[in-house]
Amino acid sequence: MRIPGTDADVIDALVGITPGSPLDAIRVRRPEARAQAQATYRALFAPDVPGNVTAQERFAVGAFVAGLHGDAAIAAFYAARLSDSGASTALREAVDAAIAAAGTQGPYGSYPAGPLSREDTPGPAYRAAAATRRALGPRLAAAFEHVHLLVFHPRDATPVALQALLDAGWSTTDIVTLSQIVAFLSFQIRVVGGLRTLAGRP
Amino acid sequence: MPDAVLVPPDHTAPVAFTRAQLEWLPWLEPLAIEALTERHMASLVDAARLKSPYFRLLARDPDALEARTRTDKDIFYNPDAGLPRAERELAAAATSRFNGCVYCASVHSRHAATYSKREADVQRLLDEGVAADLGERWNAIVAASVALTATPIAFGPEHVDRLRRSGLDDLAIADVIQAAAFFNWANRLMLSLGEPAAGG
């Protein structure tokens, strides 16, 4: 159920889809995709059962992922939600600093040794600077390093990366939620970007 | 017992993209079948997924899993017009090929080949990569999927125009967008929570 103002469909809002518009008519044809994308947003950012991952952690990660994608409107949306979650100025500035330091272009990464090795594309792994790490705290700093891997070079993922999250206090279940947040946003941001481009080409 | 990373059993890692059936080995502990609550079971949507370590791992966040799966099903299985199923699967396979998800590419290249009957073209996408020449309509779908998969996104009006020239209407173009976007979700989970093994 979409209730204007309080629970507005995030994709519609970010694309600027209004009832009766051509894009509205298209989204109506895939009603479950529309409703369940929004249900995923709610499950990850306003969950009925919050678990161990705080709202502030969820939106800090959201703001970082959105910022790394370089789309001003989407980044502003998640930055505003991070503010609403009660994040301190220091935390918000650390997220902005991380976005500025970690931005690059993906996907890159390596394959297991073999015929695909000729497609290996080297690129940076992100490590939070000392001041950023202090402001984020060890748990979010470890999350941000993992987020960068998932956003830009997911084929470089290893069990060692998951161990770093466990070491920083993320449980197995927390890691599933964190991974879903980054992966879902990778979807949501692309649907918004794609549909916005389509809407701009009537 | 504290949470720990799993060490997969001895296996052969695939070193090339393939349409063969692969296995997926988790790096984190899935929920045990006997530990699943009714909520976990419902989040799997299809009871057959009980056997899958991937879905039992994602069931640790059941609300996110259930909404993910229902999004997936509508994007790929909704039969109401738009892009033919074969080409939704092509967008999924191309996205997976570009991100480097060998497991996802294996599943969706099989589906693309089955529904299109164009096994040789699908295999060329796997062997040569996203620059393979598959004919203009498929090239347009692959190019759009790849542009949308780049971070930051490189999808622009020129991709919309090329898809329209290939005969896609706006619902079909929206299907390309949603199929490629969805595999940016799926690839990241599959790549980062476990690994593929040959001979599944």
Decide: A22 and A166 in contact? Cβ < 8 Å.
no
Residue A3: pLDDT over 80: no
Say what the pLDDT of residue B2 is. Answer: 78
Say what the pLDDT of residue A169 is. Answer: 97
Residue A180: pLDDT over 80: yes
Higher pLDDT, A2 or B145: B145
Say what the pLDDT of residue A6 is. Answer: 45
Number of neighbouring beta carbons within 10 Å of residue B83: 25
Question: pLDDT category, A4, cuts 50, 70, 90?
Answer: very low
Quick check: B171 contacting A, CB < 8 Å?
yes
Say what the pLDDT of residue A10 is. Answer: 98
Q: How far is A124 from chain B (nearest CA, A)?
A: 14
Residue A87: pLDDT over 70: yes
Task: Give the C-alpha distances (Å, rounded to integers) separating B134 from B96, B164, B169.
Answer: 17, 17, 20
Size of interface A-B (CB pairs under 8 A): 212
- Give the mean model confidence (pLDDT) for residues A176-185: 98
CATH architecture of the domain covering A52-191: Up-down Bundle (1.20)
Tell if the CB–CB gap between A36 and B99 is shorter than 8 Å: no
- Give the mean model confidence (pLDDT) for residues A110-117: 96
pLDDT tens digit sequence for B123-174: 999 999 999 999 999 999 999 999 999 999 999 999 999 999 999 999 999 9
For the record, the structure tokens of A85 come out as 């979650």
Decide: B138 and B121 in contact? Cβ < 8 Å.
yes
pLDDT tens digit sequence for A17-32: 999 999 999 999 999 9
pLDDT tens digit sequence for A124-165: 999 999 999 999 999 999 999 999 999 999 999 999 999 999
- Give the mean model confidence (pLDDT) for residues A169-198: 98
Domain B82-191 fold is: AhpD-like (1.20.1290)
pLDDT in tens, chain B (200 residues): 679 999 999 999 999 999 999 999 999 999 999 999 999 999 999 999 999 999 999 999 999 999 999 999 999 999 999 999 999 999 999 999 999 999 999 999 999 999 999 999 999 999 999 999 999 999 999 999 999 999 999 999 999 999 999 999 999 999 999 999 999 999 999 999 999 999 85
A112-120, long-range: CB within 8 Å, 24+ apart, which pairs? A112/B13, A112/B14, A112/B15, A113/B15, A114/B15, A114/B16, A115/B15, A115/B16, A116/B15, A116/B16, A116/B17, A119/B100, A119/B129
| pTM beyond cutoff 0.95 | yes
**Where in chain B do CATH 1.20.1290.10 domains reside?**
82-191
Quick check: B106 contacting A, CB < 8 Å?
no
Decide: A91 and A135 in contact? Cβ < 8 Å.
yes
Decide: A107 and B184 in contact? Cβ < 8 Å.
no
Residue A69: pLDDT over 90: yes
The one-letter amino acid code at A99 reads I
Say what the pLDDT of residue B1 is. Answer: 63
Domain ranges of chain A: 52-191
A residues 33-52 closer than 8 Å to B (CB): 33, 36-37, 39-40, 42-44, 47-49, 51
Decide: B191 and B22 in contact? Cβ < 8 Å.
no
Tell if the CB–CB gap between A49 and B63 is shorter than 8 Å: yes
Say what the pLDDT of residue B200 is. Answer: 54
**Among candidates B9, B200, B189, B28, which has minimal Cα distance to B101?**
B189
Q: Which of A43-52, A91-100, A102-111 has the lowest mean pLDDT?
A: A43-52
Q: How far is B172 from chain A (nearest CA, A)?
A: 9
- Give the mean model confidence (pLDDT) for residues A70-94: 97
ipTM of the complex: 0.98
- Give the mean model confidence (pLDDT) for residues A176-191: 98
